[in-house]
Amino acid sequence: MILQSTTNEPSEAEPARAEPGPTGQIDGVDLQSLAQQVQTPFYAYSATAIRQRIAELQAALHGLDALVCFAVKANSNIAVLRLMHECGVGADIVSAGELRRSLHAGIPAARIVFSGVGKREEEIAEALAAGVSRFNVESRDELEMLQRLAHAQQLTAHAAVRINPDVDARTHAKISTGRAQNKFGVSVVEARSWFADATMFPNVRLDGLHVHIGSQILGLDPFKRALGRVARFWRELELQGHEIDSIDVGGGLGVRYRSRDKPVATRDYVDVIRDAFAGFPGRIVLEPGRWLVAEAGVLLTRVIRVKPGSRREFLVVDAAMNDLLRPSLYDAWHDIVPVSAMPGPVAAYDIVGPVCETGDTFALARDLPVCAAGDLLTINGAGAYGASMASNYNSRPLVAEVLLDNGRYAIVRRRQTFDDMIAGEQFPEDWRSA
Ligand code: LLP
């Protein structure tokens, strides 16, 4: 088996996920021997699992004029972006850096959409010159800037208004984006005024709507409510003669981090889109990030030592919050599994990294087979918002990323060296006045 399922349910009903099974393999690659060749901690992504996710989503979208644009922020490695491109997937970007990565990986500008509340002038200019297909505009000021820059380049930009539908995504507050008090998008009232003033923006074709209400959404209701509001607004615009060519439904589909998480079925999610926009003649854009890659990746880490504690033992591992921030930042749960567990006694551990913060904790009181220094573990569900959110905190080098594909592996990011880490820093020998 290349891919394992954690449940007893039939595996064909489950979206692809990469976790070491009893064989200690992911995507046909033996993790123990991989960890002999690549220094831990490192990320490993299953190309097969990513392809299967894309295929499942594309199958569910059958018959719709739909473009899937991967949210690059979820996993920005150029090899992952190349894989997306090979499968016909475009990119949802939020910075010039993500634009350059996407183009570098071969994703054509015609399949790139540019989102984000704080696009800077030079980023908009660069994206216009590259020919990105659409700007998801989040404020009147940005719309005016887009007009000015498109005029300067003698171009017509395609723009979508990001609607803030004031819907509760029922997810973690830090990753909820669709409430009126959040910084994202504009109200329907505000959007209406942009369409009314469309002639003031001759270099912008305001012919799209966009919505994204949050991430790790595990129910259909928030999607139904948000898309319902956007659909009502689209019908209103249509009656007024404003032609809408594209509706971008954002990302947000949740994944299973622990067995009690029940992600929505892909087909049911797509049916919500089909229902909301029945009769819409244009293109539907989707911006999934997490759903495509989270469960395709693991973070491999070794136990440095087992340290006695006042309540229970600490498992001090070589990965830390700078490598995978989600547990510290969102109290997120990730399954943690020994790669070659033998049947035997179990102990409850606090699993912590070497960083000098109490928040550098991956799990509290987690039951694991009794572990010893040197044991190899996987932290599962780490393919999204793992490497892409990593930092050099505590002067720890960014870790390697490895792509696995049907029995083979390739290092797609080498571990940072000390020289890489301090590149750009210098002693203050060149003092100037400003
Ligand atoms: N589109 C827009 C405009 C977004 O802001 C996002 C994510 C996505 C699409 C993709 O959402 P997804 O399908 O991945 O849910 N660091 C957090 C997640 C932050 C999501 C930010 N925006 C985490 O680790 O949970």
Domain boundaries, the chain: 47-292, 295-421
The answer, yes or no, to whether any atom of ligand 1 lies below 6 A from the CB of 253, is yes
Q: Which atom of ligand 1 is nearest to the CA of 389?
A: 16
Which helix (H) or strand (E) element contains residue 299?
Answer: strand 297-307
* pLDDT for the residue numbered 5: 39
Cα–Cα distance list, 40 to 79, 92, 284 (Å): 20, 31, 41
Cα–Cα distance list, 188 to 222, 230, 369 (Å): 17, 9, 54
Token pair, residue 100, equals 């350059």
* pLDDT for the residue numbered 11: 43
- Domain covering 295-421 in this structure, CATH number: 2.40.37.10
Give the CATH fold of the 47-292 domain.
TIM Barrel (3.20.20)
Distance 98 CA to ligand 1 centre (A): 14
Q: Is the confidence at residue 9, as pLDDT, over 70?
A: no
Confidence of residue 192 (pLDDT cuts 50, 70, 90): very high
The answer, yes or no, to whether any atom of ligand 1 lies below 6 A from the CB of 119, is no
pLDDT digit string (tens) for 318-368?
999 999 999 999 999 999 999 987 788 999 999 999 999 999 999 999 999
pLDDT digit string (tens) for 129-179?
999 999 999 999 999 999 999 999 999 999 999 999 999 888 888 888 889
* pLDDT for the residue numbered 2: 42
The answer, yes or no, to whether any atom of ligand 1 lies below 6 A from the CB of 185, is no
Same topology, domains 47-292 and 295-421? Answer is no
Mean pLDDT of the chain: 95
Average pLDDT over residues 293-312: 98
The answer, yes or no, to whether any atom of ligand 1 lies below 6 A from the CB of 216, is yes
pLDDT digit string (tens) for 355-384?
999 999 999 999 999 999 999 999 999 999
How many whole angstroms separate alpha carbon 115 and alpha carbon 66?
A: 18
The answer, yes or no, to whether any atom of ligand 1 lies below 6 A from the CB of 297, is no
How many whole angstroms separate alpha carbon 281 and alpha carbon 268?
A: 21
Determine what percent of the chain is predicted with pLDDT higher than 70. 97
Confidence of residue 13 (pLDDT cuts 50, 70, 90): low
How many whole angstroms separate alpha carbon 94 and alpha carbon 118?
A: 9
The answer, yes or no, to whether any atom of ligand 1 lies below 6 A from the CB of 175, is yes
User: In testing the pocket of ligand 1, which one of 54, 70, 73, 179 has its CB within 8 Å of the most ligand atoms?
Assistant: 73
Q: Is the confidence at residue 424, as pLDDT, over 70?
A: yes
What DSSP letter does each residue of 302-328 carry, written as one string? EEEEEE--SSSEEEEES--TTT--HHH
Q: Which residues are catalytic?
A: 356
The answer, yes or no, to whether any atom of ligand 1 lies below 6 A from the CB of 251, is yes
Q: Which atom of ligand 1 is nearest to the CA of 116?
A: 3
Cα–Cα distance list, 95 to 124, 223, 335 (Å): 9, 26, 31
Distance 69 CA to ligand 1 centre (A): 12
Phi and psi torsions of 144, nearest 5°? -65, -40
User: In testing the pocket of ligand 1, which one of 290, 324, 326, 330 has its CB within 8 Å of the most ligand atoms?
Assistant: 290
Average pLDDT over residues 388-405: 98
| C-alpha neighbours within 13 Å on the C-beta side of residue 428 | 3
